[in-house]
Amino acid sequence: MSVLVVGGGVAGLTAAWHLLSTGTPASDITVLESSPRVGGKLARAEVAGRLVDIGAESMLALRPEARELIEEIGLGDALTVPATTSASIWSRDRLWPLPTGTLMGVPVDPESVRGVLTDAEVARLADEQPWPEPLTDDIAVGEYLAHRLGDAVVDRLVEPLLGGVYAASARRLSMAAAVPMLYAVARDGGSVTGAAAKAAAARSGTRSGSGAFIGLTGGVGRLPEHLRDVLVGRGVTVETGVTVRELTATGSPGRPQWEATCGAVPTPAYRSADAVVLAVPPPAAARLLAPLAPVAGEILGGIDMASMAIVTLAVERRGADLPGSGFLVPDVDGRTIKASTFSSGKWAWVDALDEDLVFLRASIGRAGDVTALQWPDADLVDVAVREVGEAVGAPLPRVVDSHVQRWGGGLPQYAVGHLGRIAQVEAAVARVPGLEVCGAAYGGVGIPAVIASARAAAERLTRGSS
């Protein structure tokens, strides 16, 4: 079976890798990536002459897939854990320690968030209200929690935490997709604070001390670069700068065959294969699927994408007092930045990059909130420098270099009902022989979830062909 993998982000590269391990000969696998480099949202760039991540920078360790993939491809020695897990919330003009032991911001102990929340807000949090009737359907995380625990816990804790992962508003984000454990409790009519306690206990049982996240020395952006090299070394063809514009089924129902139309309109090029794995973001997947699986195309085309920018700064080490791994920013306080990561504090390898410099980054933009993203790069840098300085209570030392990476349409939005719609997409695609989809739109936006989605697509394809 020859396979075309469309999209060279972590999903597409993982699908190719998994096809190899399920017995597809390497010479029959081709990855086509439209941009000049593989990796998609996993990317590195030079800032002050040092290579740092400018996209994703850490991976959830509570799921095994990222660690497994990294070990499988021989990059296990580079696995690392954050040097500190102490983060803050910049709320009401000062930094507060981010409470540990929360379920996506819902604290086990209301007392632990006194300060971030006022006394009245803590009292409301402690006075958990029942949901009026049994929950039978998906609901927005924020809507549900605001009713049970009050608006403040949503605005000042849940929203910034969820925003950090999904770049979404908690009041639109699907609870079933984003916090399935909470959804299960909600359907059973159980206590939300009780669910947070259960989650905290489960976490402390699984990974004592080492934290919930892992990274790679040299940057998470090394993962796709290394994976590409391993794939090419095994005989897989990985082509960059090749945009797939159209997919045509040219075979018969019993013997699927595909033709991909690539390249510029006046000078098209064609690639053919027995099967296709579509590992591109929803807007591109929607266009390619429209003639093949119209329902899937329509649903994917309806998924909102959140845009954002990552501002990376290299500042003089002398005088830089940046506590912990960084901070989150509640939207309600009207700041421009949504979060800041103190990369040199968080990762030992970043700290070791330059004895005179520290590196940090700020993210700007979230679903439905793109005003600041219209600004020129210099203004984004200025606001990041100013607001981080305000948060830590002293202006940042001299900025030696900066880098602005815009991620237009960077993250698919898991709106209420997302899982049901994705089930419809998958059912529609399953009716097209020799076609699979995977990536951040399907089973979670985090790297381990994307890897899982790619593995599953490769397995379905292999099963279908045997």
Ligand X SMILES: Cc1cc2nc3c(=O)[nH]c(=O)nc-3n(C[C@H](O)[C@H](O)[C@H](O)COP(=O)(O)OP(=O)(O)OC[C@H]3O[C@@H](n4cnc5c(N)ncnc54)[C@H](O)[C@@H]3O)c2cc1C
Q: Which of 1, 15, 47, 59 binds ligand X (CB under 6 A)?
A: 59
Count H helices, E strands: the chain?
A: 17, 22
Single out the segment in contact with ligand X by CB under 6 A; choices: 30-38, 294-302, 390-398, 428-436. Answer: 30-38
Among 212, 187, 205, 190, smallest CA distance to 104 is for 212
**How far is residue 47 from each of residues 71, 225, 315, 342, measured CA to CA in Å?**
28, 18, 10, 14
Residue 284 contacts residue 383 (beta carbons within 8 Å): no
Is residue 435 part of the contact set for ligand X (CB under 6 A)? no
Q: Are 175 and 140 in contact (CB under 8 A)?
A: yes
Instruction: Check: CB of residue 363 under 8 Å from CB of residue 343.
Output: no
Taking CB under 6 A as the criterion, the residue among 55, 219, 297, 443 binding ligand X is 55
Asked if 82 interacts with ligand X (CB under 6 A), we say: no
CA distance 336 to 328: 12
Nearer to ligand X, 124 or 228 (CB): 228
Closer residue to ligand X (CB): 34 or 257: 34
Binding-residue total with ligand X (CB under 6 A)? 36
- Choices 34-42, 125-133, 320-328, 416-424 (CB under 6 A): range interacting with ligand X: 34-42
The one-letter amino acid at 320: A
- The pair of three-digit structure tokens given for residue 128, joined into one six-digit string: 């958990």
Smallest distance from the beta carbon of 446 to ligand X, in angstroms?
4
**Is residue 443 within the footprint of ligand X (CB under 6 A)?**
no
Closer residue to ligand X, CB minimum distance, 113 or 300? 300
The Cα 445–Cα 170 span in angstroms is 15
Under rule CB under 6 A, residue 447 binds ligand X:
yes
Of 113 and 384, nearer to ligand X (C-beta) is 384
Task: Draw the binding track, 233-262, toward ligand X (x: CB under 6 A; -: no contact).
Answer: ----------xx------------------
Classify residue 113 by its DSSP letter.
Answer: G
DSSP state of 116: T
DSSP H or E run through 202: helix 192-206
- Angle at which helices 294-301 and 282-289 pack, to 10 degrees? 150
Contact 228, 74 (CB under 8 A): no
CB of 332 to ligand X, least distance (A): 22
Nearer to ligand X, 56 or 153 (CB): 56
Closest CB 344 distance from ligand X, rounded Å:
16
Q: Out of 185, 279, 286, 429, point to the residue binding ligand X (CB under 6 A).
A: 279
Binding flag, residue 227, ligand X (CB under 6 A): no
CB nearer to ligand X: pick between 95 and 244:
244
- If one asks whether residue 69 binds ligand X (CB under 6 A), the answer comes out as no
Length of the chain measured in residues: 466
Binding site residues, ligand X, CB under 6 A: 6-12, 32-35, 40-42, 55-59, 243-244, 279-281, 284, 308, 310, 407, 410-411, 439-440, 445-447, 450
